[in-house]
Amino acid sequence: MSESPNLLKEDATQSPVPPQLFVGIDRTYTARGLLLSEIRLMLAAILIFHFVVVILSNTDLLGVRWLDSLMSWMIMSSRNPYVYWVFNSLCNYVVALVNLAAYSILIALLWRRKLISFTRSNEIKMTLQVLCMVTCEVLFFIFWEFGLPEKFGAWNLVIEETTNLLFFDVLVLPYLIFNKRIHQEIRAIGKYSLRSLLSPQSSKIRGKHNPKGCWRWKKSVSII
């Protein structure tokens, strides 16, 4: 009986009990595992929602057909257009709520797990990118639901299609605006293209690599 406490101590040191998963180094890995599982669940819900929208939009249930002459979707008069309007409004509301809820929860989780501190420049830029993107998407939602006129016309059709295209561009614009690395790459590409087009030394540089071909090309041009 006197050896049982020692055995219990040795077993406790050799085999960790569940509370030890949240102590020391294991706490970091546990937090990462929980965070990854929550992020995967949110991404799966968003993907399922978008797949449902795409599948239902390509069926006859909504009574919508694509017209090549107008480059737009039109509601069929033989079906009930009320189903389409309800589904369209429901999708707009869900998209707005998903953007607000998902990004807010993700930022709150990162802040709570101390994976983001908003003290580094890259973290601040990332937060500004997400904030600008969500704000623009909410503005599009408000315009589609409350600002767009319900009357059908040429200008209404142009506005609808233009805002639909701009909605997808908004997802990329904040990343292009706030990312300095993208700016540097674009400037480098622009400088290289301008130098290659406007520089008089470009033909001589190409002649160094293939002088025979370059001189033949010059002779053919001079003869013509």
Q: 4 lies in a domain?
A: no
Q: 128 vs 152, which has greater pLDDT?
A: 128
Q: What pLDDT is attached to residue 7?
A: 43
| Highest mean pLDDT pick, 118-122, 125-129, 190-194 | 125-129
Q: What is the pLDDT of residues 33-77, one digit of tens each?
A: 556 777 778 778 878 877 887 777 666 666 666 777 766 666 666
Count of domains in the chain? Answer: 2
Report the amino acid identity of residue 36: L
- pLDDT per residue over 131-182, tens digit each? 888 888 888 888 888 877 666 667 777 787 788 888 888 878 877 777 777 7
Task: Give me the pLDDT at residue 151, please.
Answer: 61
pLDDT above 70 covers a percentage of the chain that reads 57
On whether both 20 and 87 belong to a single domain, the answer is yes
Gap between the Cα atoms of 203 and 66, Å rounded: 51
In a domain? residue 178? yes
**Average pLDDT in the 97-112 region?**
78
Q: Are residues 89 and 138 in the same domain?
A: no
Specify whether 77 is located in the same domain as 127: no
pTM of the complete model: 0.50
CB 45 within 8 A of CB 28: no
Q: What is the pLDDT of residue 145?
A: 80
| Residue 90 and residue 161 share a domain | no
Is residue 186 domain-resident? yes
- 11 versus 126: the higher-pLDDT residue is 126
**Residues 44, 137, 145: CA angle, nearest 5 degrees:** 105
Residue 219 domain-assigned (yes or no): no
- Is residue 204 one of the residues assigned to a domain? no
**Residue 50, pLDDT score:** 76
- Look at residue 13 in the predicted model and tell me its pLDDT: 42
91 and 18 within one domain: yes
Domain of 164 in residue numbering reads as 117-197
Is 210 within the bounds of a domain? no
The rounded distance, in Å, linking the Cα atoms of 181 and 187 is 10
Domain boundary, last residue among 34, 60, 95: 95
- Establish if 208 belongs to a structural domain: no
Position with higher pLDDT, 3 vs 87: 87
In a domain, 162, yes or no: yes
Provide the pLDDT for residue 81: 66
- Helices 81-112 and 25-57, packing angle to 10 deg: 170
Strand partners, 82: none
Residues 124 and 193 grouped into a single domain = yes
Which two tokens mark 78?
């033989």
DSSP string across 72-103? EEEE-TTS-HHHHHHHHHHHHHHHHHHHHHHH
